[in-house]
Every structure is written in C-alpha cells, then in structure tokens.
Copies of this chain bind each other. A is one copy, B any other.
Amino acid sequence: MNDFSKKSPSDNSRREKIAINGAGPVGALLAVMLAKKGYQVDLFESRPDSRKTNIYQGKSINLALSDRGWKALNAVGLDDEIRQQAIPMYCRVMHDIEGNITKQPYGTEEQAIWSVSRSGINEQLIDLAEQEPQVNVHFDHRLVQLNFADNTAVYLNENHHQKIHESDLVFGADGAFSKVRRLMQELPKERISYSLDYMQQSYMELSIAANEDGSHKLEKNALHIWPRKDFMLIALPNIDGSFTCTLFLNHEGELSFASLNTKAKVTAFFHQYFAEAMQYLADPVEDFLSKTPSPLCLVHIYPWLVNDSIALIGDAAHAMVPFYGQGMNCGFEDCRILSELVEKHEHQWADILAAYQDERKENGDAIIELAKRNFVEMSDLAGDERFLLRKKIEAKFHKMHPDLWIPLYAMVTFSPNIPYKTALRVGDIQQKIMDEIMLMPNIEDHWQQDHVYEKLYHLAKEMLVHQLSEVQR
C-alpha cells in the first residue's frame, strides 16, 4: 500500500510520515491538526465508515463539549462548524424522587456545556479530515501488528487481506481498549506501568423521544439529572428533539443491573425511583431488559511513548469515567498541546513527544481522579442542601474576587488555561477552606453576611496565593 522510502538523513526538510490509529473524534482532530502543520497523515479505523453503514445500531452516545474542547477546535478553525450541531446546556436540572425540580447554573449566564452526539461530531470531524489534501482515511483497517524496530504496521482489511504500512511516527488514538497500547505493553524492556480499574457502576442508554412537533419534552438547554445517591439517570438533549438518557447503576449487588432480572422488578424499580421520568422515557423497561450494561473503567499507563516515535493520545492514554464530561475535551486538549509543541520544538519529534508526555501525563491523571470523584457530586451531593449552600457561597465569593477564587467545576470546564492538575490541587485546598467556612455557627442563616466573606478572603489569601501564580500561566 505504501512504497515510499524511509526518511533519508540528508533530507532534513522532509516531514515525517504519520500514521494515526483510531478515527474517533480525537484521531480525526489530530489528523487535521498535523496535516495543517504540513504532515502527510494516514488515519486508520478498524470499523467501517459510519457515514455509509449504520454501525451504531441505535446507539446514540452524547457528549458534553466544553471550553477545552472548543479551544482545540478553534485552533484549527473547526469550532463554528461543530457548533451548528451542538446544544448549549446552561444548567443542571435536578429531578428529585418526588418530582420536584431545581436548577443549578453551570457558571455565569453565558457559560454553557454543549451537548453533541458522539457519532455526529465524529462524522463531522472525519468529513473535515477528508477535506485536507494531506490526510488519507482508511476504514475497515484493523491493526494486528506493529514492528517497533521500524514502525511498520500490519492491518487486516474488510476482506481479511493483510496490508503493510510504513511510517515515521505512529499515534494510538484508538480508545480505552487501545490495540496500540496492548502491543506496546508486550514489549519486554519498556517497563510500562499500567492499570485498568472497573468501577462498581455500569451504564445503560435509554431515551426520551421528541414531541410530535419535534420539540423537546423537557427543558432543552439543560442537562437533566435524577440523582438517587447510589445510582442516577441523566438526560442530554439532541437537535432532533429527543434526549439521550444514561442510567448509572451498580453492576452487581442488592440493587443492581444483575439483581433487576425480571420484568416485574425492573418495572417496580422505575416506578419507585423514576416515577416522574417515566412520563417521558420511551419503553425503559423493554430497553433495560433487552440491553447489556456497559462497564465504566479507568486506564492509567506510563510511559505513553516508545522509541521516541510511537505515542498514545486520548482515551488510549487516560480513559476515565464520564462524570465530569471531560473525556473528549481532554483528548482534544492533548491534540492542541501536541500541535503547539510541534511549533515550539521546531518539528523535532523526539523533543515534541517527550514534552507532550511530560505535560499531559500529570494532567491526564488529574482529570481521571476528578471524574471519578464527581460521581458522588452528581448522584448524591447535587441534591444536598448543605452542598448547595457551599456552591452558593463559592459563587458569591467568585463574583467578589474572580481571580482569587474560581470554583472547581469552572476551573475544569470553563478555564482551558488552567491545567487539570492545577485545578485538582487548588480544588483540594478550596475544599479545606470551605470545610472551615461551613463550620461557622449558623452558616445557613448568615451566609450572605460580610464576615463570612472576610474570613473566606483571609483563608484564601493565606492558602491559595502561592497556587495562583501557577494558575495564571
């Protein structure tokens, strides 16, 4: 398939040939970015082209695109195009067990996270990648082997024919169960530390259909949550008027996907815990009984690189749980930072990749940790009076001192200049400070009074100022 010869040492102007494995959103965006830097890119995908075959079979995963994602898309001018298919969600709408509804804005009035369909944004990005003359997209190419001595890859195509592809640089953008990563791990001398952790919850997709006139059955510009402590249901809007819902529930145990094993039990479960949502959900009991729950896992790996020329990116390097809505945003940020490093290190790939790993590994670990913790916030604390009071105090203080105090959610979601690792560290200090504030006598009655914010200011100055010099990078 490829008969070009390897880079000759005398030809310094020749740009490396790059193979990207995995044409998901991260792989496709990376292809566009590297092509725009002047590289020839081959983008390989094991599955067929979803634009021609319906491979999603009714699966309609939704993702929340936020400022880190937008910043990366903006860097290559793709943000306007993607925004046309996205719905801004300005708040969480919490549905309690009695059917009462409360709203929690995500940030200021104009701040939102954006609901996009995974397949939709993926197809848009592949369209955009194909418009780049230097990108070749190869569907139905399943990676079976990588020769690490010369970066030759072997693929099996849809007819089970073997194809050999040579390149100078190889990226594994092939997701949480990355084949590139598995092949790296088989190398005996690389000392690759690795962990795969299953969460006790699994998830299942359900849906809410559009009204007959195509309008939304629930408030459109919101992320809906039915928090039930150990489990929860969420719903994200689609542009066709429907909502994609996800039920997060223990995989095994007393109340779990495993224990809800008859129609009667499942029906009782939905009526007991989601009576209000039952008005909107399309056949949740049928869906529940016919679908298999999907696992939630975390992946840590280090190093992300071998031979200065093969690197992991996106979920392949740092798969996380979806509770902070940051998986794709983090992958897009990986691409943006890598692309900036290409310029900074003047196309010297050993330096680029070392700096990329150095910059991104700690940030990947930080957002994996933040996402794991956020299950509790979404499924339990989000319905808790004292927790909501904390958020109100933080929001008020943020307005008073916007540089001194940015709430953790806003650092992660709306502040792409604050690295995840800084958000994690500062968030932990903020938590200690707020623990102290919440111990003030009768805080629930006095929370609007000046002395609360004087104390908060004093504590923040004392404990946060050193951190902030790093935040403003």
Please state if A295 and B196 are interface contacts (CB–CB under 8 Å): no
Chain B residues contacting A195 (CB-CB under 8 Å) are 193-197, 300
Interface CB pairs A-B, < 8 A, 5: A191-B198, A192-B198, A193-B297, A195-B195, A195-B196
Q: B197, A196: Cβ atoms under 8 Å?
A: no
Q: Does A251 contact B (CB under 8 A)?
A: yes
CA–CA, A251 and B196, complex, Å: 24
Chain B, residue nearest A300 (CB): B195
- B residues near A193, Cβ cutoff 8 Å: 195-198, 297
In the complex, residue of chain B having the shortest beta-carbon distance to the beta carbon of A292: B189
Q: A191 to B251: give the CA distance in the assembly, Å.
A: 10
The complex places the Cα of A195 from the Cα of B197 at a distance, in Å, of 8
Contact with B along A156-195 (1 / 0, CB 8 A): 0000000000000000000000000000000000011111
**Complex Cα–Cα for A457 and B251 (A):** 46
Residue total for A at the interface (Cβ-Cβ under 8 A)? 12
In the bound complex, residues from chain B placing their C-beta under 8 Å from that of A197 are: 193, 195
> Could you tell me which residues of chain A, from 188 to 211, have a CB within 8 Å of some CB in chain B?
191-198
Question: Other than the known A195-B196, A195-B300, what 8 A-B pairs have Cβ atoms closer than 8 Å?
Answer: A191-B251, A191-B295, A192-B196, A193-B198, A193-B297, A194-B195, A194-B196, A195-B195
Name which residue of chain B comes closest to A198, CB basis: B191
Give Cα A251 to B190, complex, Å: 11
Shortest CB-to-CB span from A184 to chain B, Å, is 13
User: Would you give the shortest CB distance from A44 to chain B, in whole angstroms?
Assistant: 23
Nearest Cβ in chain B — how far from A205, in angstroms? Answer: 19
Q: Give the residues from 259 to 317 in chain A that come closer than 8 angstroms, CB to CB, to chain B.
A: 295, 297, 300
Question: Which residues in B have their C-beta under 8 angstroms from that of A295?
Answer: 191
The residue among A197, A251, A300 with the most chain B CB atoms within 10 A of its own CB is: A197
The chain B residue sitting closest to A177, CB to CB, is: B188
Which B residues are CB-close (under 8 A) to A251? 191
Chain A 211-222 near chain B by CB (<8 Å), digits 1 or 0: 000000000000
Smallest Cβ-Cβ distance to A194: which chain B residue: B196
Separation of A194 and B297 alpha carbons in the complex (Å) = 11
A196 to B190, CA, bound (A): 13
Q: Report A158 CB to chain B, min CB distance, Å.
A: 23
Q: How long is the Cα–Cα vector from A469 to B36 in the complex, in angstroms? A: 68
Please indicate the chain B residues that have their CB under 8 angstroms from the CB of A192 in the complex: 196, 198
Residue ID in chain B nearest A197 by CB atoms: B193
Rounded to whole angstroms, the CA-CA distance of A195 and B194 in the bound complex is: 5
In the complex, A279→B469 CA distance in Å?
A: 54
